[in-house]
Amino acid sequence: MSLTKEKTLELLWQRMAERGDFPSLQRSVTGIVSAMQSENTSTADLASSVLSDFALTQKVIRLANSAMYAPFGCNVTTVSRAIMILGVDTIGHLALSLKLLEGFGEVAARRDDMARELARATLAGAFARDITAKNGIRDGEEAVVCTLLHHVARLLVTYCFPNEWVEIQEIAAKRGISDSDACEQVLGITFPELAEAAARKWGLPESIATSMRPIDLEGDAPLSHADWLCAVANMSNEMVTELTRGADPERLAELAERYADRLALDISEVVSVGEEMARDTSHQEFIAISTGASNTRQPPAGKPLDSARRLADGLSEVRAATGETDAVGLLNLTLEAILQSLGFVNCAAFVRSPASKVFEMRFGIGREVQPLLGLTFPEAFEPDVFHLALTNGRAILIDNAREPRIVPRIPLWHRQHFSNVKSFFLLPVRQRNQTVALLYGDWGGALCAGGIGAKEMEFLHYMGEEISSKLESVAQQNTASGANAADSLARRPSGTAGR
């Protein structure tokens, strides 16, 4: 059957609706755009919306504390303050980029071809963010959205037209033409046209929709905003191609030279960002996936793309075991479920010891934590991220423990015993308005570039609640003897001190 542009788009939207793998993507995108465009959106409303998404909360606060906003930020710790500094549009674009990646994540976990395309999109988005941030460009997050949308067209074709996608690849390779030109021959539409159609269907701003169109970099006339966005996206996409070819310095310099003047960028900085990405372990697995050299379908920190599904399965196991095992057994089962679901290298539980007034590592999985069982840190408040999690009773993800702004907030004992760890996660377990245990997990020497999404955070929260419920049950049984519920988790002698 010969397809026209109109017929292809009709089939595309129909198949997306029928297959139901993106039930929330369009709804999320539409909601974010509405909030960005509404004159009635208050800081409180936007803060509430951001706080409902764990991954977005972490990224918003981190961006507000970045060097680009340093003169305005200065240790921003609340979403409300971050919104005042960043503005509604920046928050909206940051949310859009997250939702676009999340929307395709679960499908990519089941299909190698989509995993490769999603890996390329993630790399391109990372380069767009890094190069704009390095040059202090405030429209960086908008450029990231545009870059990702350029890849959305490929992802949609891969997903909704799998047979045609194979044909497109074969034609492009055989005739030596671009994938986009081959797509036009097979489906009657180019990738930029499809990306623009998706942007308009989802109600994205006009500047983003028109930035999908090809541009001519020749000439000296100033670029329009839409053309500037398109140029950044094109450069980012070409950079991914170079990264998958080995990041040859001469080829990176040629790429930088084509775009540097028109985008007012320094050639050496473009090359530097590309080389840094090639060396960074947080990008190397994405590069391997995008070239087919890796079939793990996992992002660099080892976190599976289907981590939400794994956490759901793990939660079911934890709930099934709640009535069949004691508190220690349930805690160990929960640690194992979290480790397998999120790809942690190390996972441990620090349990409050009321008599000693310390939190002690009583249980752990992983080569680095086993020798450290018995490690303690004081219960009394200190200005570090562990005590922040204990006090607030909220989960914390540290994306990069080596960032200069973060290092002073990492306790000395952690820097000593986990010196290679870059990203780690903390989940408090609360009992009667008090933290009685702190679950810890890290990805070893790799950065967790993908973060932890809202759905993942929801399952983790429920796992913590199961432990809380078990401890409450133990507390009620021990009321007569006056024993503390947490004692059921803390009966080994103390070991090494954390400080």
pLDDT in tens, 178-232: 889 999 999 999 999 999 998 888 777 788 888 888 777 777 778 888 888 888 8
Q: What is the model's pLDDT at position 300? A: 46
pLDDT at residue 145 above 50?
Answer: yes
127 and 204, same domain (yes or no): yes
Residue type, 294: S
User: DSSP string of 441-497?
Assistant: EE-TTS--TT---HHHHHHHHHHHHHHHHHHHHHHHHTTTTT--GGGGG--SPP-SB
pLDDT tens, 337-354? 898 888 888 999 999 999
* Same-domain pairing of 464 and 316: yes
Q: How many angstroms separate the CA atoms of 79 and 86, rounded?
A: 10
CA dist 483 and 335 (Å) reads 25
What letter would DSSP give residue 222? P
Q: Are 183 and 5 in contact (CB under 8 A)?
A: no
Total number of domains in the chain: 2
**DSSP SS3 for 378:** strand
Does 99 have pLDDT greater than 50? yes
CA angle 169, 128, 37 (to 5 degrees): 105
What is the domain-level CATH number for residue 463?
3.30.450.40
Residue 319 to residue 215: CA distance in whole angstroms: 55
Query: Residue 220 carries which side chain, given as an amino acid letter?
Result: D
Residue 93 within a domain: yes
**Three-state secondary structure call for residue 246:** coil
pLDDT digits (tens, 9 = 90+) for 258-269: 888 888 888 888
Do 152 and 230 sit in the same domain of this protein?
A: yes
408 and 436 co-located in one domain:
yes
* Structure token pair of residue 474: 């133990």
Q: Domain check: are 283 and 314 in the same one?
A: no
Provide the pLDDT for residue 52.
57
pLDDT in the model for residue 437: 95
Is the pLDDT score of 4 beyond 60?
Answer: yes
Task: Give per-residue pLDDT as tens, 66-91.
Answer: 655 544 444 565 666 677 777 777 77
Q: 396-426: per-residue pLDDT in tens?
A: 999 888 888 889 999 999 999 999 898 999 9
Two tokens, residue 393: 């009773």
Residue type for position 347: C
Q: How high is the pLDDT of residue 47?
A: 62
Q: Compute the average pLDDT of residues 357-366.
A: 91
- Residues 193 and 246 grouped into a single domain: yes
Distance (Å) of CA 277 to CA 249, 280, 286, 488: 13, 5, 10, 47
Q: How far apart are CA 135 and CA 29, in angstroms?
A: 28
Where is mean pLDDT largest: 33-37, 68-72, 349-353, 363-367?
Answer: 349-353
pLDDT-based confidence at residue 496 (cuts at 50, 70, 90): very low
Write down the residue that tokens 């991954």 correspond to: 55
Per-residue pLDDT at 67:
58
In a domain, 60, yes or no: no
As a whole number of angstroms, the distance between CA 213 and CA 195 comes to: 9
Residue-level pLDDT at 340: 82
Assess whether 263 and 409 both reside in one domain.
no
Give the chain's length: 499
**Domain end point (choices 256, 291, 326):** 291
Closest by CA position to 46, among listed 8, 92, 6, 99: 92
Structural domain includes residue 236: yes
What mean pLDDT do residues 268-290 have? 80
Q: Can you give the residue range of the structural domain that contains 92?
A: 5-41+87-291
Domain shared by 325 and 274, yes or no: no
* One domain for residues 273 and 356: no
Which region holds residue 344: left if phi is over 0, alpha if psi is between -120 and 50, else beta?
beta
Is the residue at 132 inside a domain? yes
103 with 248, same domain? yes
Q: What is the average pLDDT score of the chain?
A: 80
Q: What are phi and psi of 348, to 5 degrees?
A: -150, 165
Is 55 a member of any domain? no
The answer to whether 385 and 472 have CB atoms below 8 angstroms apart is no
Indicate whether 58 belongs to any domain. Answer: no
Indicate the range of 50-54, 96-100, 186-190 predicted with least confidence. Answer: 50-54
Nearest to 359 by CA among 318, 315, 411: 411
CATH number of the domain where residue 17 is located: 1.10.3210.10
> In this predicted model, which residue has the larger pLDDT, 16 or 306?
16
Q: How far apart are CA 164 and CA 184, in angstroms?
A: 11
Q: Each residue of 165-174: pLDDT tens digit?
A: 999 999 998 9
Cβ atoms 267, 256 nearer than 8 A:
yes
User: b/e map of 362-382 (b: 16 or more CB within 10 Å)?
Assistant: bbbbbebbeebeebbbebeee
pLDDT at position 448 is 76
Q: Round to whole Å and give the CA distance between 118 and 151.
A: 8
Least confident of 218-222, 244-248, 269-273: 218-222
Does one domain contain both 249 and 371? no
pLDDT at position 107 over 60: yes
Residues 27 and 176 in one domain: yes
Helices marked H in 38-190 — which ranges?
Answer: 43-51, 54-64, 79-86, 88-108, 112-134, 140-160, 162-175, 179-187
Could you report the per-residue pLDDT of 456-495, keeping only the tens digit for each?
888 999 999 999 998 888 878 776 555 554 466 754 433 4
129 located within any domain:
yes
Contact 444, 437 (CB under 8 A): no
Tokens of 192: 């930029």
Q: What is the DSSP string of 268-331?
A: HHHHHHHHHHHH-HHHHHHHHHHHTS--S---TTS--TTHHHHHHHHHHHHHHHTTTS-HHHHH
Residue scoring higher pLDDT (21 or 198): 198
Position 53 in a domain: no
Q: In what order do the strands lie in the sheet with 424-430?
A: 376-378, 358-365, 346-353, 435-442, 424-430, 396-398
Give the relative orientation of helices 54-64 and 79-86 as an angle to the nearest 10 degrees. 60
